[in-house]
Structure 1
Amino acid sequence: MSTPFALDEGQRAWCAELRALAAGRLRPLADKGEPGRVNRPLVAALGELGLLARLLPADGPVRAMDLCLLRESLALESTEAETALALQGLGTCPIVDAGTAAQRARWLPEVVAGRAVAAFALSEPGAGSDAAALELRAELSEPGAGSDAAALELRAEREGTTWRLTGEKCWISNAPEADLYTVFARTGPAPGARGVTAFLVPADRPGLGGRPLAMVSPHPIGALTFDAVPVGPDDVIGEVGGGFRVAMRTLDLFRPSVGAFAVGMARSALRAALAHAAGRHAFGGPLKELQAVSHQLAEMATRTEAAALLVHAAAAAYDAGEPGTAGRSAMAKLFATETAQYVVDAAVQIHGARALERGHLLEHLYREVRAPRIYEGATEVQRTIIAKELYRAGAEGATAPTSTQGRGR
């Protein structure tokens, strides 16, 4: 399969439908939500409209392109709806990818219907982006992998055939209100990534607690505490000791879609800036007639379009099982999130002080756009991954990183 440079007619029609649903059905629910809290009516609506079923199909793997188009289209009209959908996918995809039949049967129908809220619990106070940076090192079995993975401190202490989880997770989206958590813990003395296991932990397990964190981003983020939380073989996702491979496969899938979220925000900010420049009169005419403004808008549009093309190319490559997905995904997330930050900031500058008023679209986007440059691997981590891919591919791969490990789908 060759990577497309444009969406086909069916994809464009679906994106238009998604934008209409977001504006007409989801945004009103999002507006009624409380910042920092899970908006369960919004999640339920995502289920009722079939969007979670499209994200988590019952008859096949999660498709990166579908995920990206969902996130980009929803973000253009409602970042809250986009984030609610994305978090359901992030917390549940490890179960789709590596869970047991019993785990899938118990939780997937609940998540897809919007009745259960999921969360992905990897980051810790001492293991944030350094955990995400493990991906390439773990794949290459480099000696340096152990030092980063050692930062993961949540312990799974063995008791016969079971374990007890003790420690803390931090900056977990949907915590502490989620119904189920995909949790990554150290299960043994094996060094680095090989000593980590993924567990499915329902929220009602004894010893599991948490607290919300007051963050700039308006979606719920919290910390989790594990006080000898019991888990057994039936809770293991994948294999004992195989948890980081589960985590990195999920992040590989979601990294381009973080870029798609960023593209959606950039498009929203650009749309607002264009409307303002056309309607606002200053210096004897509309702002759009000022060359400084029109050139700024042209730059914003060009960067946004370039970011969208990188995102779509990375998603198509992932779905086709092409080599080089780690480098492509990292490039897409890096460029799109940095672009969105630039476009939103430029749109605020074109609007002036009114864009900083509480409740203004750009004030909202200004708070939303900062976090994607950090989570699921910060900008610096993406550059590390890209560089590693370049070194592995050799000098001839400088314009299109390739990987020796393709992704069969």
Structure 2
Amino acid sequence: MTRFTGFALGTDQEEWCARLRALAAERLRPLAEKGEPGRVNRPLLAALGEEGLLGRVFTSGALELCLLRESLAYGCTEAETALALQGLGAYPVLRSGSDAQRERWLPGVRAGRTVAAFALSEPGAGSDAGALALEAVPEGGGGGSGRGDRGWRLSGEKCWISNAPEADFYTVFARTGEGPGAKGVSAFLVPADRPGLSGEPLDMLSPHPIGALAFDGVPVGPADLLGEPGRGFRVAMDTLNLFRPSVGAFAVGMARAALDATVAHTAARTAFGGVLGDLQAVAHRVAEMATRTEAARLLVYAAAEAYDADARSPQVPRRAAMAKLLATETAQYVVDHAVQLHGAAALRRGHLLEHLYREVRAPRIYEGASEVQRTIIAKELYREAREMRETQEAQAAQEVGEA
């Protein structure tokens, strides 16, 4: 694909996005409508696999992933979410799994036959991922030393887990105790049929499959590790740094759908002797919606470009946080104002904006709430300021010594 220039997409990128929007509306939307809210839609996943879109999640750069998610979200939010959840659950396997793990699980994920899930959050550890309590106790004891030469037993709970309890495997983060906080967390690939693992669905505002998991001495061995013991937090952050900008792209897709619907509605709906769009109060509000949406879109693309240029750059977490923050907050603003300008019709069950109004709220919370993103941004800004000050002080001391 032609690379993004910073201000506009290339022609081939625009054409690809248009094809994705058409695919979402014509093939994926009917499958989504046949699904049961709050349940994994396996026919929809299979269609995503047949179209090759699930495979692209694992071969695309961050920018292409953003374009994919934005385009699908515009035409079918359920398809976008199904694709993103597959990527979120399986990306740690791609990046940190063994050859055996990748060969066993990823072909099914790409084909839409195998459902993956990312199991990080807990009842008492949502935004503070370093406070995980799910415990991995070494077989034969070990007193929390983290050593699991003969394996571990997982005990505890996970909550707000997308695709639970219907997933075929879970990327699970548990405390193995190599160190305090995040330094003592390991990542495991846990098949859903492991003894001691159970779950239940949760009835949520958004129509996504979300549930809770209970681990009652679930056995895992060294072959189930994703990466090294005690390095699980890095596995989680590698995944989230990639997917956070694309959460913003999901939000931008919803905002653009709401904006387009609002422009069409206010250009045609008559009121007070003219159309709604002739009223300055309406026109100015639509202009504000469009401006915020465009700003969010560009920030998302910039964050994705930064990731593609150097995923390990210290600026990536800040850019990803900015993109997710602005895009999800903007989408909430745009959808809310779109509902207001449509009036009562937008509140009717089945209306596009009624659907988007339920969908748009969750992204401001999951994969790091807006408050967490602000904390990340501020932390990185002050870190850079501290490093600059220390560099300046060292240079001044060197100059004094040379004098």
Q: TM-score, normalised by structure 2?
A: 0.91
Rounded to whole Å, the distance in 2 between the matches of 1:304 and 1:188 is 44
Residue number among 214, 217, 231 corresponding to 1:228 in the alignment = 217
Does 1:30 pair with 2:10? no
Letter of the 1:157 counterpart: V
Residue 386 of structure 1 aligns with which residue?
377
Deviations 1:350-399 (A, max 9, x none): 001111111111011001000000010000000000001101112899xx
The residue identity in structure 2 corresponding to 1:328 is: R
Among 158, 162, 177, which residue is 1:173 paired with? 162
Of 138, 142, 167, the residue aligned with 1:158 is: 138
Residue of structure 1 equivalent to 2:333: 342
State the aligned residue count.
375
Q: How does 1:140-159 map to 2 (within 5 A)?
A: 149=130, 151-159=131-139
CA contact (8 A) 2:4 2:10 kept: no
Q: How far has the Cα of 1:161 moved from its partner?
A: 1.3
Q: 2:71 — aligned with what?
A: 73
Correspondence for 1:185 among 174, 178, 185: 174
Q: Amino acid of the residue matched to residue 17 of structure 2?
A: C
2:323 alignment partner in structure 1: 332
Q: Which consecutive aligned stretches of 4+ in structure 1 deviate over 6 angstroms post-superposition?
A: none
Shift of 1:91: 0.2
Q: What secondary structure is seen at the aligned counterpart in 2 of 1:210? A: strand
Amino acid at match of 1:329: A
Question: What is the SS of the residue equivalent to 1:169?
Answer: strand
Distance 1:215 1:115 in 2: 25
* Cα distance, 1:2 vs structure 2: 9.2
1:44-69 deviations in Å (ceiling 9; x for gaps): 00000000111113xxxx51112111
| Structure number with larger C-alpha Rg | 2
Q: Which amino acid aligns with 1:384?
A: T
Once residues 290 and 362 of structure 1 are traced to their aligned partners in structure 2, the CA distance between those partners, rounded to angstroms, is: 22
1:273 is aligned to 2:275: no
Identical aligned residues as a percent: 74
Distance in 1, matches of 2:347 and 2:23, equals: 28
Question: Is the Cα–Cα contact under 8 Å of residues 3 and 317 in structure 1 kept in the other structure?
Answer: no
Q: CA deviation at 1:4?
A: 2.2
For 2:135 and 2:340, how far apart are their aligned partners in 1?
48
The amino acid of 2:325's aligned partner reads: L
Task: Report how far residue 317 of structure 1 moved.
Answer: 0.7
Q: Which amino acid is the alignment partner of residue 43 of structure 2?
A: P
The unaligned stretches of length 5 or more in structure 2 are 140-148, 389-403
CA distance in 2, matches of 1:219, 1:163: 31
Letter in 2 for 1:45: A
Distance in 2, matches of 1:280 and 1:358, equals 21
Superposition pairs for residues 358-369 of structure 1, below 5 Å?
358-369=349-360
Distance 2:6 2:285 in 1: 28
Q: How much does 1:5 deviate?
A: 2.3
1:318 aligns with 2:307: yes
User: Residue deviations 1:95-127, cap 9 Å, x none?
Assistant: 111111110000110000000010000000000
Write the distance in 2 (CA, Å) between the matches of 1:204 and 1:98. Answer: 22
Tell whether the 8 Å contact from 2:246 to 2:300 is kept in structure 1 after alignment. Answer: yes
Q: Superposition RMSD on alpha carbons, in Å? A: 1.4
Q: How does 1:1-400 map to 2 (within 5 A)?
A: 4-57=6-59, 62-131=60-129, 149=130, 151-159=131-139, 161-188=150-177, 190-321=179-310, 322-394=313-385
Q: What residue identity is the alignment partner of 1:166?
A: S
**CA offset at residue 24 of structure 1?**
1.0
One-letter code aligned to 1:40: R
Partner SS state of residue 394, structure 1: helix
- C-alpha contact 2:92 2:235 (8 A) present in aligned 1: yes
| 8 Å CA contact retained: 1:198, 1:238 | yes
Once the two structures are superposed, what CA deviation does each residue of 1:330-349 show, in whole Å capped at 9, x if it has no partner?
A: 00000000000000000000
Per chain length, whose mean CA-contact separation is higher, i.e. which structure has more relative contact order (CA < 8 Å, sep 6+)? 1
Cross-structure match for 2:146? none
Q: TM (normalized to structure 1)?
A: 0.90
Gap change, CA 1:229 and 1:222, over 3 Å in 2: same
Which whole-Å CA distance do the structure 1 matches of 2:232 and 2:135 have between them?
13
Distance 1:92 1:7 in 2: 29
* Partner SS, residue 56 of structure 1: helix
- Code of the residue aligned with 2:323 in structure 1: it is A
